[in-house]
Amino acid sequence: MSENKNSPYFTAFVISFVITFIYAIVMPFVVSGMYEELAAIIGGIILFVVSFVFYFVYNHFRTIKKLPWLFGGIVIFIGYVILVNSDADIYNKNLFNNSKLPKAYESYQTVLTDEPIYFGKYEMQLKFKSFDPISHFISSKNNLIVITSVIPKDRDFEEVEKDRYGGGNTIFQDYTTYKLDKDGNIIDSYVFKRTYENYTEILFDDYIVNINKNYYKSWILDGDTLSKPFEFKNKDLQWNEEEQVKLYERIVYGRGYYKIEGNNYTVEGKNPEQQIVYFSEGKWYKFFTNIIMPDRDKVSEQRGETTYYANVFGKYEENNYGNAPDWSNFKPVYFQREKFERVTHNIGGNSGSSESIEVNGNLFCNLYVGKDTLKFIKPISFGESGSTQEFYEAKGEKIAQHKDTLEKHYNPYFYYSDKKLNFKLFTIDPYSLYVIKAAK
């Protein structure tokens, strides 16, 4: 028995057991989560094995009188691990980052201000801000229609809480639709207070339409906010198949606006149910169907929500409605690196997070309006890898070489002009809108 106690294996076992026991006591106070027990078991096994092996390594270095080598190696290893998992590389990048701005770009100015900006014979003013991306289009009366939203502060508290389960503040918004004349003056406005029960009004060009509440408004045309009811077709579902198909084809192949909701197939033996809201000869209708309608794949244009998600710039993102923006009036001329940082990306679900290095900086750009130039700054960030790597590496004036891909990937700025309007529109993000006019 005494021989066993004096055995180095016994000593290593006891030491490893004690260390692992202490770990088991401390671990629950340090680590928590879904896999806490599994982590404790695996961590304990690893710690026991490492402690057991380390005892013999320690004895070997002690026997050959090289303990300083052992502890020196441990210090170097720990230092390496700390360095790899710290922001020392970020610190060095920022320390040696030469972000001194060339004199040629000192006159460029930020547009993130409520104050008017003057350039040449023009004046630019921030006109609208919004919680959701701003929508805008030109009506048949040549008015600019602009739609913004805010998180309301004047609603009944119980009403807000009632809607909370439906998406919280994202659903609970006030949408204001503005009407501007050809000189850029606001001549009228209309407010829609969205709730979970009355979720949305959509726009079919000159008409505001509420499909669920069965009404439309002609405010865009004539300023009338009165809700006008739809006229119903086949609400009692008594039409035969020939009558339903005939009206259906007239709607989808006609020149009016329409939106189809429901199922065009049988479900659990039940007939298909669709409701088609459509516009015809100055009126809005809702058509009820209970048969499988002909395939719509050959219809060249399905006229759905044509304006509520659109904007005069074309589109804000690649998957938005609208055509590609026209960036011919812009030129990126310089990218100033300001600060590097490590960013954690959480994909969500059961996927793990990842880290990458990004550089935050300023993109210096020119907007050419007639013979004058707006020299402005847009804050922007680029990642060191992936699709943004070429911009990350293109510091200084090299960014100008990447104009096409930069605009396609980032949509960094937008500009719009129309001969019908005595003003122009500009923005660097979907949540703000600037008006450019001739300076007084």
| Same-domain pairing of 195 and 231 | no
pLDDT for the residue numbered 1: 47
- Mean pLDDT value across residues 407-427: 94
Q: Confidence band (pLDDT; 50, 70, 90) for 21?
A: confident
If DSSP states are collapsed to H, E and C, what string results for the chain?
A: CHHHHHCHHHHHHHHHHHHHHHHHHHHHHHCCCCCHHHHHHHHHHHHHHHHHHHHHHHHHHHHCCCHHHHHHHHHHHHHHHHHHCCCHHHHHHHHCCCCCCCHHHCCCEECCCCCCEEECCEEEEEEEECCCCCEEEECCCCCEEEEEEECCCCCCHHHHHHHHCCCHHHCCCEEEEEEECCCCCEEEEEEEECCCCCCCCEEECCEEEECCCCEEECHHHHCCCCCEECEEECCCCCCCHHHHHHHHHHHHCCCCCEEEEECCCCECCECCCEEEEEEECCEEEEEEECCCCCCCCCCCCCCCCCCCCCCCCCCCCCCCCCCCCCCCCEEEEEEEEEEEEEEEECCCCCCCCEEEEEEEEEEEEEEEECCEEEEEEEEEEEECCHHHHHHHHCCEHHHHHHHHHHHHHHCCCEEEECCCCCCEEEECCCCEEEEEEECC
Q: Confidence band (pLDDT; 50, 70, 90) for 374?
A: very high
Structural domain contains residue 33:
yes
pLDDT for the residue numbered 296: 64
Which pLDDT tens digit goes with each residue over 316-362? 777 666 677 889 999 999 999 998 888 776 655 555 556 778 899 99
| Same-domain pairing of 302 and 249 | yes
Structural domain contains residue 317:
no
Which pLDDT tens digit goes with each residue over 67-77? 888 788 878 87
| Same-domain pairing of 299 and 390 | no
Structural domain contains residue 91:
no
Pick the most confident of 1-5, 174-178, 324-328: 174-178
Instruction: Residue 253: give the domain boundaries.
Output: 216-307
Structural domain contains residue 120:
no
| Same-domain pairing of 33 and 104 | no
Strands 202-204 and 186-193: unpaired
- The Cα 90–Cα 69 span in angstroms is 31
Structural domain contains residue 319:
no
Structural domain contains residue 312:
no
Q: Work out the number of other CB atoms within 10 angstroms of the CB of residue 106.
A: 8
Structural domain contains residue 127:
no
- The Cα 407–Cα 325 span in angstroms is 9
Say how many domains are in the chain.
4
| Same-domain pairing of 59 and 106 | no
| Same-domain pairing of 284 and 386 | no
With 80 as the cut, is the pLDDT of residue 431 above it? yes
| Same-domain pairing of 176 and 223 | no
| Same-domain pairing of 366 and 273 | no
Q: Confidence band (pLDDT; 50, 70, 90) for 298?
A: low
| Same-domain pairing of 190 and 223 | no
Task: Quote the pTM value.
Answer: 0.76
| Same-domain pairing of 34 and 78 | yes
Which pLDDT tens digit goes with each residue over 380-399? 999 888 778 899 888 899 99
What tokens does 48 get? 């026991």
| Same-domain pairing of 233 and 162 | no
pLDDT for the residue numbered 285: 96
Which residues does 373 contact at the CB level (< 8 Å), separation at least 6? 119, 120, 366, 367
| Same-domain pairing of 430 and 343 | yes
pLDDT for the residue numbered 302: 53
Structural domain contains residue 94:
no
- Mean pLDDT value across residues 85-92: 67
